[in-house]
A and B are shown apart, each in its own frame.
Chain A
Amino acid sequence: MRSTIMQMINDMRNMSRILLAGFLVLYLGDCKQAYEPPAIRGGNDYLVVDGFINVAPGSVTTIDLNRARRLSDSTAVGIPELNAQVAIQSKGGSSWPLQDAGHNGYYVSQPLTLDISQTYRLSVTTADGRKYLSDPVPCKPTPPIDSITWSQPNDLTFSISTHDVAAKTHYYRWDYIETWQHDAALQTPWGVNNGHIYATDSTTQRSHCWTVLHSTQVMLDNTSALSQDLVDKFPIYTIPFGDSRLDIKYRIHVRQYALTSDAYSYWLQIQKTSQGLGTLFDLQPAQLIGNVHCLTNPAEPVIGYVSASTLQEDSLFLYNTNLHYWTHNSPGFGCDTLGIPADPNDFSNYTYADTNWAPYYFDGPTTLILASKICLDCLELGGTTTRPPNWP
């Protein structure tokens, strides 16, 4: 029996050799195509209502109205919704209008003192006459921030602590604004304007810059399961070890909002949907149902959840030297310099063609030392040269 099998295997081998040669080369086709069903091609410019009714005495409410963008739009911000009529309405029937003073989609109220025992809602009538109304929401006073703390080693983590003795808050949301100073690696008193070198002053200096950035994540916590309404060192933000934002001075300004449980659920979904796409660890798509509705067309989705609360804020400053072993770039590190002859007739005349270079200093009357522009002009790395208020 064994020999028969061996013989058959040999037969098969011979056969397979002939057959392999005859195989057709497979053509699998170009299998990836753009997929753009009519549903996503356009028209999904849903109204986005971003903001909250600030019920702290004498405070201003700011609501940002904009439009959601098509998937294929690469602009970073929403399209402002202009010429809308926006108002806060109380259950009692009072109404307070918001004006788009800057014509940028930001609708701002007068300083108001609202009765926090009332419920409030936001009404929006867009320029094309469509009416929107949010559900009435109760006012939730936000307890003050107890502390913002930071911790190391290595990565820097900011944590927040707060509590409500009355144990009525439970649901918290935070956002923050970070501001950091980033100086030019080389300091120069000179600037260039239209081929002329001039001495800068505090308004034209390019040595000290500040960048302001708003948080892009949603930070939430919920204490409803705890025996006390206490948030103890909740980590809200972590900066990787050695990040240049802490090269000199850094400030984090945290804003705290109290939420209702429904609002919390909404923000929780926003938190999830804003995370990555197209990865192995893809998340289940979140369908957002906020508390703003279109009265003109009830089927039209509206994005946003309008809450009414007070706002609590706090800031924390950090110097590079406060931190444990954080990198600090020494002045001039990695900067090249280049000497060129100065114009003997008019030292302010500057004609050097390569715009990657800029005047650094005059080495005597005949030589102008240039350095890479990126080392001299802090704006090359973004930000503004205006010192932020209360910057130490």
Chain B
Amino acid sequence: MRHSGLHASLFVLSLTLITSAHGQDKRISGDFQGIPFSQLVSKMAAASGYTFYYDPAETDSLVIHVTVEHATLPELLDLVFRGTDLHYAIDPAGRVFISKLFVIQTQLPAEATRQDGPPISIPGDPTQKQEEDPSSKHILKAIEENKLIEIGRKDGKALQGKATLAGYIRDAKTGEAIVGASVYADSSTRVVITDQFGYYSLTLPRGRHVIRISSQGMKDTRRQVLVYGDGKLSVDMQEFIASLKTVIVSAEKTSNTRSTQMGVNRLNIKTIKQVPVVFGETDILKVVLTLPGVTSVGEASNGFNVRGGSTDQNLILFDEATIYNPSHLFGFFSAFNADVVKGIELYKSAIPEKYGGRLSSVLDVSMLDGNSKKWTGSGGIGPLTSRFFIEGPLVKDKTSMVASVRTTYSDWVLRTIPNNAYSNSTTGFSDANLRITHMIDQKNSIYVMGYFSTDHFNLNTDSVYHYSNQNGNIKWKHIFSNKSNALITAGMDRYQYSVSDPRSGTSAYKLGFDINQTYLRADFNYLPGNKHIFNYGVNSIYYKLHPGSYEPVGAKSLVVPNTVAAEQALESAIYAGDQYSVSQKLAINAGVRWSVFNYLGTHQEYEYAPGFPKQTTTITDSIFYGSGKVIKTYAAPEIRISARYQLGKDASVKASFNTTRQYIHMLSNTVAVSPTDIWKLSDPHIKPQQGLQYSLGYYRNFSANTIETSVEVYYKQIGDYLDYKSGASLVLNHHIETDVLTTKGKAYGVELLVKKASGRLNGWFSYAFSRTFLKQDDPLAGESINNGKYYPASFDKPHNVNFIGNYRFSHRYSVSLNIVYSTGRPITLPLSVFQLGGTTGLFYSERNQYRIPDYFRTDLSVNIDGNHRIKKLTHNFWSAGVYNLTGRQNPYSVYFTQENGQVKGYKLSIFGAPIPFITYNIKF
């Protein structure tokens, strides 16, 4: 070094005289062939007047073959160092620093990496300030990304073995934890995903690494680390603001091909909000329905179907609370207020072993932690709803909260419609969310959530429908060490619904149902090394269901009370799994979950004559079980295996095998609206449903990973799925086993997805071909559905096409387009009326033999952001558009009714005309 330094010092003076300052403007020409680096340095120094500092040992193997014509020094150096791990930095004083692996900083950092624990960054780090001056952001980012962070204690020994890095990934602006961010080192294909608290843990060989962090909607970032031992590395990410003039080429967005998970869809709230929806209200479930493999039975129906599963086979978790009815206003709105939602994850095939109790999927909706830095809020006004939302730190950087309320004034809207059918109807809903996040210390944090929703409606009749979700839980996250952490959750969920007719005097009634569950979960993670991540834990749910009570309302009512006895059960599970990185290319996730279900007293159980169909006439006895008595126990293992094999840089194949069990069943009378659905626990007569799924997928990224594509195929078997006997009556049935029969099902399909997550034009296109068939396999059903052949399930919809597109004209204006097509769902039609044995009956087709008309809809919306001035008190946001642009009268329901001795069919379409909407949102 001294040698070149001497050289340089000789020329600095002279060149300064010639070029008068701006050394970088100096052009260099020449043909440098086969010369060593040191020789080139001499020549450049001579020509440009720069001083070069470098370690000859790092550069002695470098032989130069470069021809330049009138090049600047950076241009020349770029050429010289192309394909090497050498970097350079030029300071204003004309000094050039050559370094291996990292870039030397020529300025003092203005902001240091956030610290969570013991010394992790360069000793003497001058500042911890989190000032946000946008003009300096770029520089800050560059500095953070290039600074070498030393992790662990430097003990002077050789860097051997492994160390574990752990920490939180957060949003730099709000302090919000980022869920589902990918964290990985350049040196390994191991990708870890941050958990629901933004926490990750990554084991690496000791030494130099570049850690890359990417998450949807956030700017990719990286950290240079020198790992001496275990330590903490928390990273704040910047929000991704679409740059309109440049193309973002991202080498890092490979998480979909690298992740070992398959059949998972992750969306953050920003993406969800771009999708146009009716009345301009951001709707989580509507967006979920656009994902491949997800369908719904009707336009505004409760719930969704995943890969040929029924609506009750989805575990819908809202910040760990189970939501039984995820919809408002009989399906027009989702029960999740988008203001407090951080994002969603939908598991369709490889369901992590920590989840259980449902056959088809897990939809995990995560909730915001609350801005830990400052108080902010927002309000929204739409034609049907208004919302208010506030978040902020109760104690800065320690305790934060989020609260939101949403309510309708739809009664007012309905009354203005000049049609009695509407103006005599009432409908409305409201919901409220609260979440408090408290970081006790580095190792412990507490999260408390509460959710409440309520709905009521009556549609030009005297019957008033009402339902309500009430949920609350508390979570304690404890970090034992970088390698091990635990999450303990305790909570209660309640879903109640009722139909009442309080006005009609002597026949005034209330029909009520509810589900209550209390749960305790303990989930542990253990990461002993780079190769394994162990997950294990136990969980338990105590159910108490009231499957129906029919009661008089008011003194005049002559209704005779009729109550179906309460049911109770305990569902417990113990699970363990390992995410094993076999090699750079092959990774395997394998887990097992042992679930046990105890059906408990108090209960009156009917006995049926063996070998005969279960009918009221074959009841032989009834046995009474006292409180807490275990009446029936079901237990079985559930296997969860998936594997990924990397094919080159941009592609991978994944396969999975899954078995699942479900102990709670929804019995739904498909003709009527949801508050009459009956939930039923497995009992001695009703066996748990069993699911089994094989799936295989190919993932490929194009155009520097900006376009993600995937193809997944699956084959599923379903056992002991409940279908209904002909003429089954579900409401207030004291022996429901006499009206149901078990079927076995099979489902198969292909899902294609093309997704462009960033750029001016972004969105996705999905196509799914999926079939679901059921076959009665209950020898004692007493009847044979479709002659014992396979028949399409009521939610079998073979073709589904979704397009979601968003085009940004500028930072303020964007247009979103949404196109949906699906095959109409199957229906059993009454074909004719007959007279037999004095009775008039309807002759129905084979079950689900016909289909209602196909569904097609196009929505368009224009989104206008207010100006982007930072100092403005409030920010506003307009959204205007048209729902169902083509005005197609898609059927919402098809039903038959008897009128003047004739049986008449009706098709009800709810949004049978283009519906313009406009929404205004305000943020402060």
A225→B608 contact, CB < 8 A: yes
Q: Is B612 an interface residue (CB 8 A)?
A: yes
One of A66-74, A126-134, A371-379 contacting the partner? A66-74
CA of A20 to CA of B907 in the docked complex: distance in angstroms? 33
Answer whether A35 and B894 are a contact pair too, CB < 8 Å, given A40-B905, A273-B726, A303-B834.
yes
B727→A273 contact, CB < 8 A: yes
B783→A278 contact, CB < 8 A: no
| 17 A-B contact pairs sorted by A residue (CB < 8 Å) | A15-B920, A24-B916, A28-B910, A39-B845, A48-B836, A69-B834, A70-B832, A71-B842, A71-B903, A76-B901, A175-B837, A215-B838, A226-B620, A270-B837, A284-B725, A285-B828, A286-B727
A32→B834 contact, CB < 8 A: no
Can you name the residue of chain A whose Cβ is closest to the Cβ of B889? A33
Q: Is A272 an interface residue (CB 8 A)?
A: yes
Q: Is A153 an interface residue (CB 8 A)?
A: no
Answer whether A278 and B383 are a contact pair too, CB < 8 Å, given A72-B903, A225-B609, A304-B836.
no
Min C-beta distance of A16 to chain B, whole Å: 5
B839→A274 contact, CB < 8 A: yes
Contact of A31 among B377, B845, B910 (CB under 8 A): B910
Min C-beta distance of B825 to chain A, whole Å: 14
Min C-beta distance of B891 to chain A, whole Å: 8
Can you name the residue of chain A whose Cβ is closest to the Cβ of B850? A39
Q: Is B107 an interface residue (CB 8 A)?
A: no
Min C-beta distance of A31 to chain B, whole Å: 5
B832→A45 contact, CB < 8 A: yes
B617→A224 contact, CB < 8 A: yes
Contact of A280 among B375, B499, B784, B907 (CB under 8 A): B499
Q: Is B898 an interface residue (CB 8 A)?
A: yes
**Nearest 4 interchain pairs by C-beta:** A272-B727, A286-B726, A278-B897, A225-B609
Min C-beta distance of A161 to chain B, whole Å: 16
Answer whether A282 and B906 are a contact pair too, CB < 8 Å, given A277-B842, A287-B844.
no
Min C-beta distance of A345 to chain B, whole Å: 49
> What is the 8 Å Cβ interface bit string for chain A, positions 191-207, against chain B (1 contact, 0 not)?
00000000000000000
A301→B898 contact, CB < 8 A: no
Q: Is A37 an interface residue (CB 8 A)?
A: yes
Interface residues of B in 379-393 (CB under 8 A from A): 379, 381, 383, 386, 388, 390, 392
A74→B615 contact, CB < 8 A: no
Interface residues of B in 901-924 (CB under 8 A from A): 901-913, 915-918, 920, 922, 924
- When distances are taken between beta carbons in the complex, the residues of chain A under 8 Å from B407 are none
Interface residues of A in 18-51 (CB under 8 A from B): 19-20, 22-37, 39-40, 44-46, 48, 50
CA of A45 to CA of B835 in the docked complex: distance in angstroms? 12
The size bracket of the interface on B is: 35 or more
Answer whether A225 and B417 are a contact pair too, CB < 8 Å, given A19-B920, A286-B844, A289-B787.
no
CA of A345 to CA of B554 in the docked complex: distance in angstroms? 67
Q: Is A367 an interface residue (CB 8 A)?
A: no
Min C-beta distance of B342 to chain A, whole Å: 23
B842→A285 contact, CB < 8 A: yes
- When distances are taken between beta carbons in the complex, the residues of chain A under 8 Å from B913 are 27-29
Min C-beta distance of A194 to chain B, whole Å: 35
Answer whether A224 and B727 are a contact pair too, CB < 8 Å, given A71-B896, A286-B844.
no
B898→A278 contact, CB < 8 A: yes
Can you name the residue of chain B whose Cβ is closest to the Cβ of A221? B617
Min C-beta distance of A171 to chain B, whole Å: 9
> What is the 8 Å Cβ interface bit string for chain A, positions 231-268, against chain B (1 contact, 0 not)?
00000000000000000000000000000000001011
B416→A25 contact, CB < 8 A: yes
Q: Which of A5, A34, A218, A283 has the most CB of B within 10 A?
A: A283
A16→B381 contact, CB < 8 A: yes
- When distances are taken between beta carbons in the complex, the residues of chain B under 8 Å from A31 are 889, 892, 908-910, 912
Interface residues of A in 47-75 (CB under 8 A from B): 48, 50, 66, 68-74
- When distances are taken between beta carbons in the complex, the residues of chain A under 8 Å from B873 are 8, 11
CA of A280 to CA of B837 in the docked complex: distance in angstroms? 27
- When distances are taken between beta carbons in the complex, the residues of chain A under 8 Å from B898 are 276-278
Q: Is B895 an interface residue (CB 8 A)?
A: yes
- When distances are taken between beta carbons in the complex, the residues of chain A under 8 Å from B830 are 40, 71, 285
- When distances are taken between beta carbons in the complex, the residues of chain B under 8 Å from A39 are 829, 831, 845, 850
Q: Which of A23, A218, A269, A286 has the most CB of B within 10 A?
A: A286
A24→B383 contact, CB < 8 A: yes
- When distances are taken between beta carbons in the complex, the residues of chain B under 8 Å from A28 are 417, 422, 910-913, 915
Min C-beta distance of A85 to chain B, whole Å: 22
Q: Which of B785, B837, B889 has the most CB of A within 10 A?
A: B837
**A interface, CB within 8 angstroms of B:** 1, 4-5, 8, 11-12, 15-16, 19-20, 22-37, 39-40, 44-46, 48, 50, 66, 68-74, 76-78, 173, 175, 214-218, 221-226, 265, 267-278, 280-289, 301, 303-304
Min C-beta distance of B38 to chain A, whole Å: 63
- When distances are taken between beta carbons in the complex, the residues of chain A under 8 Å from B889 are 29, 31, 33
A78→B835 contact, CB < 8 A: yes
Q: Is B841 an interface residue (CB 8 A)?
A: yes
A287→B845 contact, CB < 8 A: yes
Answer whether A68 and B850 are a contact pair too, CB < 8 Å, given A26-B383, A29-B911, A74-B900.
no
CA of A221 to CA of B728 in the docked complex: distance in angstroms? 17
Q: Is B619 an interface residue (CB 8 A)?
A: yes
A225→B617 contact, CB < 8 A: yes
Answer whether A72 and B829 are a contact pair too, CB < 8 Å, given A272-B726, A285-B844, A286-B844.
no
Answer whether A44 and B832 are a contact pair too, CB < 8 Å, given A273-B844, A278-B897.
yes
B390→A284 contact, CB < 8 A: no
A274→B833 contact, CB < 8 A: no
Answer whether A8 and B924 are a contact pair too, CB < 8 Å, given A33-B907, A225-B619, A274-B839.
yes
CA of A30 to CA of B887 in the docked complex: distance in angstroms? 12
Can you name the residue of chain B whose Cβ is closest to the Cβ of A64? B835
- When distances are taken between beta carbons in the complex, the residues of chain A under 8 Å from B725 are 284
- When distances are taken between beta carbons in the complex, the residues of chain A under 8 Å from B785 are 287
A19→B618 contact, CB < 8 A: no
- When distances are taken between beta carbons in the complex, the residues of chain A under 8 Å from B917 are 24
B612→A71 contact, CB < 8 A: no
Can you name the residue of chain A whose Cβ is closest to the Cβ of B463? A280
- When distances are taken between beta carbons in the complex, the residues of chain A under 8 Å from B902 are 71-74
Contact of A23 among B843, B906, B918 (CB under 8 A): B918
A287→B847 contact, CB < 8 A: yes
- When distances are taken between beta carbons in the complex, the residues of chain B under 8 Å from A23 are 383, 918
CA of A8 to CA of B923 in the docked complex: distance in angstroms? 9
Q: Is B731 an interface residue (CB 8 A)?
A: yes
- When distances are taken between beta carbons in the complex, the residues of chain A under 8 Å from B392 are 1
- When distances are taken between beta carbons in the complex, the residues of chain B under 8 Å from A221 are 617
CA of A29 to CA of B915 in the docked complex: distance in angstroms? 9
Q: Is B669 an interface residue (CB 8 A)?
A: yes
A32→B906 contact, CB < 8 A: yes
Answer whether A35 and B844 are a contact pair too, CB < 8 Å, given A44-B831, A66-B835, A224-B617.
no
B905→A282 contact, CB < 8 A: no
CA of A28 to CA of B417 in the docked complex: distance in angstroms? 9
- When distances are taken between beta carbons in the complex, the residues of chain A under 8 Å from B727 are 268-269, 271-273, 275, 283-286
Min C-beta distance of B628 to chain A, whole Å: 30
A222→B618 contact, CB < 8 A: yes
- When distances are taken between beta carbons in the complex, the residues of chain A under 8 Å from B249 are none
Can you name the residue of chain A whose Cβ is closest to the Cβ of B375? A1
> What is the 8 Å Cβ interface bit string for chain B, positions 860-890, against chain A (1 contact, 0 not)?
0000000000000110000000000000010
A33→B844 contact, CB < 8 A: no
A282→B911 contact, CB < 8 A: no
Q: Is B840 an interface residue (CB 8 A)?
A: yes
Interface residues of B in 711-741 (CB under 8 A from A): 724-729, 731
Can you name the residue of chain A whose Cβ is closest to the Cβ of B731? A281
Contact of A303 among B615, B726, B836 (CB under 8 A): B836
A287→B906 contact, CB < 8 A: no
- When distances are taken between beta carbons in the complex, the residues of chain B under 8 Å from A76 are 901
B832→A282 contact, CB < 8 A: no
B787→A217 contact, CB < 8 A: no
Contact of A50 among B381, B617, B836, B916 (CB under 8 A): B836
